[in-house]
Amino acid sequence: MSTAIKGLLFDKDGTLFDFNATWGVWCAGFIRDISEGDITLARSLSEVMEFDLDRGAFQESAKFIAGTVDDILEPLQAFLPAWGRDDLLQHIFESASTAPQVPVVALAPLLQRFRGNSLTIGVATNDNEMPAHAHLRSVEILEYFDFVSGCDSGYGAKPEPGMLLGFCEATGLEPHEVAMVGDSTHDLHAGRAAGMVNIGVLTGPARAEDLEPFADVVLQDIGAIPNWMGLN
């Protein structure tokens, strides 16, 4: 791979962190806690969130996988009339901020290697910015990133390219000098729209055949990036 890439912009969930080990655990706990033992309500909430309570995993088509909290907020409220929108949103943010993060690889050494090769690195996630910072901080890697944007940071959400172009504006890089790294077609559509190189990874729900039409390369996980780029 050419060393023309000067920046790496990572999705968070399913890319830096194993999606199901993180959000499957969170969702099961969220549904259990907010339904307060009401099995019928728990089943209704699981249907809204497209989450299989028996398997403890999201359905492959679940909006939550690549979308934003707003995608599920209104349907959830229909079953939780006692919760005001702002209160429910705050409850989701607070519980999501403490969701257990399971890195796909040892992240600190990998990020150090990227920085040692003079790469600028950032995060662009459809999660909100507050929990995104909390998640990166919880595994002691926040300091390695030059840019962290969530869907509420003012750039919009993927698959629109706003966050990706915001990374370029903040760092002075041109889009063609940046690789967007993600586990979903939302990530790769955003990368294409921004004019970036696209790296797909298989640590989220998407399969290789889902990502290949939109990716310049599909790797098993982000740990394979240094070899693909020919880094020291």
As a whole number, mean pLDDT of residues 104-131 equals: 97
Contact (Cβ atoms closer than 8 angstroms) between residue 105 and residue 59: no
pLDDT for residue 22 is more than 60: yes
The confidence band for 71, taking pLDDT boundaries of 50, 70 and 90, is confident
As a whole number, mean pLDDT of residues 9-25 equals: 94
As a whole number, mean pLDDT of residues 129-154 equals: 96
pLDDT for residue 3 is more than 80: no
Q: Of 155, 200, 151, 158, which Cα lies nearest the Cα of 179? A: 200
Write the pLDDT tens digit of every residue in 30-61: 999 999 999 999 999 999 999 999 999 998 77
* 45: exposed, middle or buried (Cβ count in 10 Å: 0-12, 13-18, 19+): buried
The rounded distance, in Å, linking the Cα atoms of 144 and 122 is 8
| β-pair type (51-52, 7-10) | unpaired
The confidence band for 69, taking pLDDT boundaries of 50, 70 and 90, is confident
- Residue 43 backbone zone (phi > 0: left; psi -120 to 50: alpha; other: beta): alpha
Residue 37 CB contacts under 8 Å (≥ 6 apart), including other chains: none
As a whole number, mean pLDDT of residues 2-26 equals: 91
pLDDT at 38 (0 to 100): 97
Write the pLDDT tens digit of every residue in 204-223: 989 999 999 999 999 999 99
Q: How many CB atoms lie within 10 A of CB 184?
A: 27
- Distance between the two ends of the chain, CA-based, in angstroms? 13
Domains present along the chain, CATH in parentheses: 7-17+103-229 (3.40.50.1000), 20-97 (no CATH)
pLDDT at 67 (0 to 100): 82
Q: What is the DSSP letter of 232?
A: -
Write the pLDDT tens digit of every residue in 153-209: 999 999 999 999 999 999 999 999 999 999 999 999 999 999 999 999 999 989 999
pLDDT for residue 90 is more than 60: yes
Q: Of 18, 9, 11, 20, which Cα lies nearest the Cα of 186? A: 11
pLDDT for residue 130 is more than 80: yes
The rounded distance, in Å, linking the Cα atoms of 211 and 182 is 9
Contact (Cβ atoms closer than 8 angstroms) between residue 146 and residue 121: yes
| β-pair type (120-124, 147-149) | parallel
As a whole number, mean pLDDT of residues 10-33 equals: 94
Q: Where are the alpha helices (DSSP H) in the chain?
A: 19, 25-35, 39-48, 63-66, 70-79, 85-97, 107-116, 129-138, 162-171, 185-194, 208-211, 225-229
